[in-house]
Structures are given as structure tokens and as C-alpha cells.
Amino acid sequence: MAPDFRRWIIEAYGEIYGRPHLDKKEQALIVILSLVTQGAHTQLATHIKRGMNAGLTKEQVEECIIQCLPYNGFPRVQQALTILKEIIEE
Amino acid sequence: MAPDFRRWIIEAYGEIYGRPHLDKKEQALIVILSLVTQGAHTQLATHIKRGMNAGLTKEQVEECIIQCLPYNGFPRVQQALTILKEIIEE
Amino acid sequence: MAPDFRRWIIEAYGEIYGRPHLDKKEQALIVILSLVTQGAHTQLATHIKRGMNAGLTKEQVEECIIQCLPYNGFPRVQQALTILKEIIEE
Amino acid sequence: MAPDFRRWIIEAYGEIYGRPHLDKKEQALIVILSLVTQGAHTQLATHIKRGMNAGLTKEQVEECIIQCLPYNGFPRVQQALTILKEIIEE
Amino acid sequence: MAPDFRRWIIEAYGEIYGRPHLDKKEQALIVILSLVTQGAHTQLATHIKRGMNAGLTKEQVEECIIQCLPYNGFPRVQQALTILKEIIEE
Amino acid sequence: MAPDFRRWIIEAYGEIYGRPHLDKKEQALIVILSLVTQGAHTQLATHIKRGMNAGLTKEQVEECIIQCLPYNGFPRVQQALTILKEIIEE
């Protein structure tokens, strides 16, 4: 279903992630921050794992999420930290 | 008005920005990404300027905003790039 | 519980859906687009089914969701397509 | 333009504000909190003035907005306090 | 994990909830309204229970949620009423 | 500035708007509904004008915006109708 959609994801990922300005870890952090801020928790686990595979440490992900606290408020940050905790405990 | 609110901003800034894990430029980028994603354009200009004073280049800010495109959609990214453009042209 | 709330839903549905300007399929698509964009996934399945009962095809729903991609971003569109897929496979 | 829309506003206001459970000041505070939280700043000034005409003090409005801070984050609260300040200084 | 985050929650709760201007029930209602409006359903149950422990009645919580309807729209209000219903039936 | 961003807009527009399933008017309505729902008022005027150039009538745009009312709430719908009114009066 939706083969165009799948193609776009691949193209967008290829194009965006292939840009030379940021390394894989920085790119992953940016996506994580966008997902945390918009409350897109369903996709968050996937992107945290991707970032950690690219070399992000648990502390770096946690620190970035916490840094959003004064701007995003407790609910979105708390839920993101819960998801991070589940990933680490897996 | 609202002296408690002003005190909390100062305390929150002091506490959050005083954490040792991220440098000033990384902290500024995180705030910028949160503001872009939630569409908080009124505060965005202030924080882009703060980040650039801390050493962020125009290209780094631009790159981070563009990196959000597939996740945030055009409207928020386009408005953020417009604000960045106005700051650079000032 | 909340009988006023139930009455309002019935009245609002009756009034809004009784308007002559749009047919049942167009009305369903508008609701689907609103729910996809605000990430109201809990209500989305109900309204997709309603729309398909009113004559919308799977392709029309899918096409409308995909059309939002550049404006809503991947997370909300991806989650909506997942919900659509579950309905079709039922 | 949109006479139905105007009628609905009047009916909704009549029905919702005519409910006996909350007094006018409590009703105004609820609307203010909804508008602050969703960042609907265009309508906020109108509803703050309405609430103050119904008897809310500047301190009560301010206190309610500040109470949202840990949940809504700085950007929305800061913008709401700016709007409140402009109303008081008028 | 994230001991700073836990400390901030305790400090924020202590500071915000210790303010003399609003009583415990009013404070709980404000948090509930923020969570309903931003769709933070994961935290909503906890805060509804806290409010009811502080003396809020089921009717007061329900009334506040319903009062948001014209401003928040059906999806968020409907989901909040479902959560309230589950708490009452427990 | 941001030539990649401009290229992506052109490509995305070309690809998405070139799909055969929906006509130009339907495509414009979908974008309008996404922008109204996410409160992206800055881009809304441009897309309403585009839709009217493609053949949408004022009544069709108005009807679609009003149809969102029970799902989006008054603030976003009211602001969208104000923008539509300004375009018609130009």
C-alpha cells in the first residue's frame, strides 16, 4: 500500500541524511527533538534507536530531551524520557 | 508584573544552561528546534540571535531548520527560514 | 455520563452534516483531514470507516492523507496510513 | 459572510455560558486556559477582557497563566503574559 | 535515570503548588485544562485523580472539560471524557 | 538563501500536485484544511488565493473551513474565516 509514500520516505531520507553539513548523530538528535516537541511518540522509539546505533549515548539523548523542558513543558518531556527508559531497559 | 515568572526564567536559564553536558551552541540549537517545531515564532528570533552570539553560523542554524522539514512540514520550516533571513539581513 | 455532551454531538452532526453544500463523501474527507492534521488518531478509524461507508474508496482516503505530507510532515501522515492499512486488512 | 458561523457562536455561547455549574468568572478562566495552551493569541485578548469585565482580577488571570508554566512551557506562557500586560497598560 | 528531571518535578510542584493565590482544587483544574487542551492524555488520568483527592467532584471535572468544547473541538474533549469515565468506573 | 529548500518546494509541488487522482481544486482544499487545522495562518492566504485561481468558489472554501468547526474548535476556524474575508474584500 502507498508505494509512492514509501518511495518518498526513502528519497527524503536519502537526500536529507546525505547532506554533508551535519553528521549522523547530529541528524538523529534533530529528528528526536522534532518528534519530542510535536509529541509524535509512536515514531520516537525508532529514531532514538537509530541515533544510538549511529553513536549517540544514552546520556546525550537524555540531555537533549531534558534541555527542552522549559520550552516544551513536562508532559511531552516526561513521555519522551519514559520511552528512552524503555529502550535502555530492553 | 509577574516577578515570580521573571525569577523562574532566570533560574531555569541558569540551571539548564549551566549543565555541563552540552556547550552553548548545542543548547541554543536545541531551543531553536523546539521553537521551530511548536511554531513559537515570537521567541524564535531572540533565540537565533542568542545562538549566533554563542558562535553558531548562519549555515548551521539554516541546516538544522531544513533538517526538520520531513518531520515538521513546510509551513513551520518556511516561517522559520523567513525569520532567519530577516535576522541575517538586519 | 455527560448527556449534554452526547446531545451536542448529535446536534452538531445533524446541523453540520445536514448542510447542502457538500456531499457525504466530501464531508467525511474534511473530518479525516482535520483528524490527521491534529494527530487525533483515536477518532480517525471511526471517521475513515464512516467515509468508506458513504462511498469513499480506499484510494481516495489514501490519496488525501498523502497529499498532506508536505504540510503535516511524516509522523502524522505515517500514523494515519497505518490506521488506514489496519482498517483495510480487517 | 458566514451567517451560520455567527449564529453558531451565539448559540454555543448561549448554551455553554448558560450552564449553571460554573459562574461567569470560572467560565472565563477556562476559556483563557484553553486559548493560552493552544497558543490562540489572537482571541486571547478578547477573552481576558471579558473575564475582567465579569470580575476576574489581573492577579487571578496572571496566576492562572503562570500555573500552566510547567505544563505548557515558557513560549506560550510568556506570550500570554505579554498580552495580559498590554491589556492592563491600555 | 534522569535524577535532575525528578528533582525539577519536585521543585516545580513544590514552588507552583505552594503559591497562596489558588487552592488545591483550582490548581488541579488548571493542570487538567492544560493537559486536555494539548492532548496529553497519558498524564491526564494522574491529574484527574489528584484533583479528585483534593476535593474536586466528578461533576466539576466533567463540567470544566465540557466547557472547553467550543474552543478545543470534539476529539480532545471526547478523549478526556473517556478517561474521566474510566476513572469513575474503576 | 537555502537553495535546496526552494528546490524541494518546487519538486514537492511538482510531484504532489502532478498526481492524477485529485484535481487542482481538490488538492487546494486539502492544503487549506491542513493549514487551517494546524493554525498556519501565514501560509493560508497564499493557498486560498491559489485555490480560487484554480476554480474554487468563495462558498466552497468557506464551507470547508466551517465544516472543521466541531473538530478544530472556534479559534482556528474564526481566524481562517477572517483571512478568507480579507481576501474577498481585497
In this predicted structure, what is the pLDDT of residue F12? 67
How far does the CA of residue B12 sit from the closest CA of chain F (Å)? 29
pLDDT number for residue C3: 72
pLDDT of residue A82: 95
Instruction: Chain E: give the shortest CA distance to residue A46, in Å.
Output: 20
pLDDT tens digits for E23-54?
A: 888 889 999 999 999 999 889 999 999 999 99
Which tops the pLDDT comparison, B47 or A22? B47
Has residue D8 got a pLDDT over 90? no
| Average of per-residue pLDDT across D57-84 | 93
Do C56 and C29 meet the contact criterion of CB atoms below 8 Å apart?
yes
Nearest CA in chain E to D35: E71
> From the candidates B33, B41, B63, B72, which should be mutated to test the interface with A, based on the most A CB atoms within 10 A?
B33
The answer to whether residue B56 scores a pLDDT higher than 90 is: yes
pLDDT of residue D25: 87
C12: buried, middle or exposed (CB in 10 Å: 19+, 13-18, 0-12)? middle
CB contact under 8 A, E74 and C9: yes
Question: How confident is the model at residue F4, as a pLDDT?
Answer: 73
Query: pLDDT grade, residue C13 (50/70/90)?
Result: low
Residue A33 above 80 pLDDT? yes
Residue F42 scores a pLDDT above 70: yes
When the pLDDT of each residue in chain A is averaged and rounded to a whole number, the result is 87
DSSP B57: -
How much is the pLDDT for C1? 54
The set of residues, in sequence order, having a beta carbon less than 8 Å from that of E4 and lying 6+ positions away, is A66, B19
Termini Cα distance of chain C: 31
- How many other β-carbons are positioned within 10 Å of the β-carbon of residue D4? 14
pLDDT tens-place string over residues D28-68: 999 999 999 999 988 999 999 999 999 999 999 999 999 99
Instruction: Kindly report, residue by residue over F51-77, the tens digit of the pLDDT.
Output: 999 999 999 999 999 999 889 999 999
For the stretch C37-78, pLDDT in tens is 999 988 999 999 999 999 999 999 999 999 998 899 999 999
Helix (H) or strand (E) holding E56: none
Q: Number of B:F CB contacts under 8 A?
A: 33
Work out the angle at residue D85's Cα, subtended by the Cα atoms of residues D84 and D87, and round it to the nearest 5 degrees. Answer: 65
What grid cell was written down for A27? 541528524
d(CA B44, CA B33): 9
pLDDT of residue D36: 97
Give the pLDDT confidence score for residue A90 in this predicted structure. Answer: 86
First to last CA, chain B: 31
* E strand or H helix that includes residue B28: helix B24-38
The whole-angstrom separation of Cα E86 and Cα C46 is 20
d(CA A82, CA A69) in angstroms, rounded, equals 14
For chain D, give the secondary structure using H, E and C: CCHHHHHHHHHHHHHHHCCCCCCHHHHHHHHHHHHHHHCCHHHHHHHHHHHHHCCCCHHHHHHHHHHCHHHHCHHHHHHHHHHHHHHHHC
Q: Which of C75, A76, D76 is nearest to E42 (CA)?
A: A76
Angle at D74 between CA A75 and CA A40, to 5 degrees: 35
In C, minimum Cα distance to D12 occurs at: C8
Share of chain C above pLDDT 70, in %: 93
Question: Half-sphere exposure (CA, 13 Å, Cβ side) for B9?
Answer: 9
Number of inter-chain CB pairs under 8 A, D vs F: 33
Tell me the pLDDT tens digit for each residue of A71-81. 999 999 999 99
Report residue B38 as a C-alpha cell: 511548536
What does the pLDDT read at residue C86?
95
| Rounded Cα–Cα distance for residues D46 and F79 (Å) | 13
| DSSP SS3 for A23 | coil
